[in-house]
Structure 1
Amino acid sequence: MDTYDDVVNGRRSIRGFTAEPVPRELVEEIIALAVRAPSSLNSQPWNFTVVTGEPLERIREGNTERMLAGVPESREFRMGEPYAGQHRERQVEIAKQLFGAMGIAREDAERRQDWVMRGFRQFDAPVSVVVTYDRELLGNDIAVFDCGAVTNALVNAAWSRGLGCVINSQGIMQSPVVREHAGIADDQVIQTCVAMGWPEESFPANGVVSRRRPVAEAARFVGFDD
């Protein structure tokens, strides 16, 4: 078993997967680890719908058809204004890393569009884990925070078992499609999904490691002796 440091420092977002199926028992094991994530007042608002096979293919097809037809997105969380300033710079930086790894030139509109569509297809992963929370908590930001915590735990637990993931809100941009084919009840709010599977080692984008802000930039320490 890897140490916690090995998992956290070694994990990457995986966007290319083999076709090898993921056993249900392994996903259950991963979720059992993930739900040890901290939760405000132990509320545990999260739920998981794990989708594979034909239902997942129907979600891919529905997402793709609706996006190509220009159907407006219908994600069930607030997006806010587009990123600007340093947040936009970081977004552009990782996009440049990914396009560079894949050899996609800036002027290659066809391949850039194909890359975007991969996200709507949940990167062709064999498994999609749709993370939802109880609708009675809609508007409660703590519930969303808790879902973020459990999703982080999920991708790290998967990595510790040899599986790759990417947290993929593009995959739920057409939430009615996901809700229909995954059978998600109306009492749930769709927060995000996680594409999961065995990493395709030869897929160039899988080697991309995003830059992280150093501690000196991200953290302030108050009341410590210098």
Structure 2
Amino acid sequence: MTGVPGYDEVVVGRRSIRGFLDKPVPKELIAEIIGVAMRAPSSFNNQCWNFSVVTGEPLEAIRRGNTDGILAGNPDSREFRRFDKVPDAHRGRQIEIAKQLFGAMGIEREDKDARQDWVLRGFRQFDAPVSIVVTYDRVLLGSDIAPFDCGAVTNALVNAAWSRGLGCVINSQGIMQSPVVREHGRIPDDQVIMICVAMGWPDAAFPANAVVSNRKSLDEAVRFVGFDD
């Protein structure tokens, strides 16, 4: 295991990668990563997660359909639950990371074309060579089990990938047009599309890949109860 990063090093060092090398990722390596990720905690051991790993022309078809649909004004058809309006405190953190990314990429606030181009990159899953579409069993639609399981396994997946030199970004923009994703990802009707993970070899020259998001402090997030201070 010499040279393999430790757990803390992986978790603290991992970044969301939005620029990838034009280099394929071996199927066997992806299978290994998913196998490790599936050791994630699962509510009541349901293991309701499923994975559609897409590359090549099927992924290009998803990119085209997703982007064309958005540009044509088709409504967002993502299948997972989300807020219609993000609460202000959380929206503030979204704005903060957007400023970091735009700053790294040299995108000025008034540069509408560059900002639009960045948004379209998200719809294309940042041109990653691989997309892993995470789904859950439809029989659990509306339960709390599915979001717990899918969140746990997705976290484990991106960390397992990072420990092997691969970069990922958890990306909901890439599944905005769910019918397109379902068709070209060959996703069965008995599964609900939760999220996708864009995966590939990080491009060290891509400025946004150096961005490290700020995190809440322990004082903001943690309450210790019953301890003798």
TM-score range, shorter-chain basis? over 0.9
Indicate whether 1:33 and 2:36 are aligned: yes
Deviations 1:83-106 (A, max 9, x none): 232111101000000000000000
Determine the structure 1 residue equivalent to 2:187: 184
1:147 to 150, 172, 180: 150
**1:171 corresponds to which letter in structure 2?**
G
Indicate whether 1:169 and 2:172 are aligned: yes
SS in 1 for 2:192: strand
Indicate whether 1:63 and 2:66 are aligned: yes
1:116 to 113, 119, 123: 119
Which 5+ residue runs of structure 1 have no aligned equivalent? none
* 1:116 CA drift (Å): 0.3
SS in 2 for 1:224: coil
**1:202 corresponds to which letter in structure 2?**
A
SS in 2 for 1:28: helix
SS in 1 for 2:109: coil
* TM-score where L is the length of structure 2: 0.98
Determine the structure 2 residue equivalent to 1:97: 100
Determine the structure 1 residue equivalent to 2:81: 78
The alignment's C-alpha RMSD in Å is 0.6
Indicate whether 1:20 and 2:23 are aligned: yes
2:210 to 196, 207, 217: 207
For 1:129 and 1:218, locate their aligned partners in 2 and report how far apart those are by CA, in whole Å: 31
Which 5+ residue runs of structure 2 have no aligned equivalent? none
After TM superposition, which residue ranges in structure 1, 4 or more long, deviate above 2 angstroms? Answer: none
For 1:195 and 1:49, locate their aligned partners in 2 and report how far apart those are by CA, in whole Å: 12
**2:69 corresponds to which letter in structure 1?**
R
